[in-house]
Amino acid sequence: MMLNENNELEKELGDLRDKMCHSKTKHTQALKMKSYFKGKYQSVKIKAEESKSDSKKYEKEINYLQKQVEGLQAMADDNKTEKLEMFSGGRYKIEIRQVNMDLVGNGVAIERCEVIVRSVLNNLLNIEVDRLPKKRLASIIAIEAHVLSQAQAAETMLKGSNFTENIPPQVVTLNNATENTVLVKKAKKNKKSKRTNANKQSNLINDELAFQVNKYYAVAFTDRWYPGRCSELVDKDTAFLEFVHPSGKNYKLTGLQR
C-alpha cells in the first residue's frame, strides 16, 4: 500500500514539474511577447511623432502653395482679356476711325489695317476688339483722311501767309449768311505795296486774281472762314468749290461768286 501511495505522489510530483516547466515556458514566451510588443509600440510611437512632424511640415507647404495659387489667380483676374466695343449707334467710334486714318497716312495698305490693329491690341495690351472697319469702309475712311489732310494743309498755308490780314473788312463777317451764302477771296500779299485804302486793296483782289483749279481759297461761310479747294471753273470769277465744314460734312457748292 505504501508503494502505491509513493507511486501516486511521484506521479503527482511529475505532473507538477511538467506543469511548472510548461508554465515557465509560457512565462518566458509572455516576457518575449511583451518585449516584442513594447519595441513595436516604441517604433510606432516614433513613427507617429515623425508623421506628426511631417504633417506640420506638409501643412506649411500646403498653406504656402495655396497662397501662391491665390496670388496667381488674382494676377489672372487682373490680366484677363478686355474687350473693346468700337461700333456703337450704327457707326464706328471716332478713335478707331482716327487710327485707320493714321495707318493709311503712314503708307499702310487699307486691307492690312484691321489685322494690324487687332495684332497690336491683342499682343501688347491683351485687348480684343468686337469689330473693326472692313476694306470697303476703310477705303471711305481713307478718303476722309485725304480730305482732312488737304484742309489742314490749306489752313496751315493760310495761317502761314497771314491770309486774313489781306481780306477787306467788309467780307470777314457775314451777319445774314446762310448755307447758300458764301464769299470766297484769295489775296496776294504784296510786300512792296504801301496801299492803306481798303477799297484799293479790295479792287486789287477782285481785279487781278482769278480762280484756279486745285488752288486753295478762304471761304466765308456762316460767319466763319474755312479753307476750300477749287475743283472746277465756270469762268474766271465763278467756280465749284469744295471745303470741309467742322460738322464733318463735305460741301460742294456751285456758282460761287468771288
Banded pLDDT at 128 (limits 50, 70, 90):
confident
Distance of CA 195 to the CA centre of its chain: 59
Closest CA to 29 of 39, 40, 17, 21: 21
Residue 201: pLDDT over 50: no
Give the lowest-confidence range in 46-55, 58-67, 227-236: 227-236
pLDDT tens by residue, 129-186: 777 777 676 777 667 666 666 666 666 655 554 444 433 322 222 233 333 334 454 4
Rounded CA separation 136/68 (Å): 50
Type and span of the H or E element at 255: strand 250-257
Banded pLDDT at 85 (limits 50, 70, 90):
confident
Rounded CA separation 205/207 (Å): 6
Q: Say what the pLDDT of residue 18 is.
A: 67
Rounded CA separation 157/177 (Å): 25
The residue that leads in pLDDT, 49 or 76, is 49
Cell numbers linked to 116: 494690324
Q: Which DSSP string corresponds to 132-171?
A: ---HHHHHHHHHHHHHHHHHHHHHHHHHHTTGGGGS-GGG
**Most distant CA pair in the chain: distance in Å?**
182
Rounded CA separation 208/193 (Å): 14
Q: Locate cell 475712311: which residue? A: 141
Cell numbers linked to 141: 475712311
Q: In the chain, what are the domain boundaries?
A: 91-155, 163-257
- Phi, psi angles (nearest 5°) of residue 144: -60, -40
Q: Say what the pLDDT of residue 121 is.
A: 82
The residue that leads in pLDDT, 233 or 91, is 91
**SS3 helix, strand, coil % of the chain, rounded to 5?**
60, 20, 25
182 neighbors 220 (Cβ within 8 angstroms) = yes
Helices 94-105 and 135-160, axial angle in degrees (round to 10): 80
Banded pLDDT at 78 (limits 50, 70, 90):
low
Residue 110: pLDDT over 70: yes
Give the type of residue at 86: M
Q: Say what the pLDDT of residue 205 is.
A: 33
Residue 14: pLDDT over 50: yes
Percent residues over pLDDT 70 in the chain: 40
Segment 6-33 shows an average pLDDT of 67
Residue 204: pLDDT over 60: no
Question: What separation in angstroms does the CA of 41 have from each of 26, 32, 50, 134, 185?
Answer: 22, 14, 14, 81, 113
Give the type of residue at 56: K
Type and span of the H or E element at 240: strand 238-244
Segment 71-95 shows an average pLDDT of 71
**Could you tell me the pTM of the whole model?**
0.30
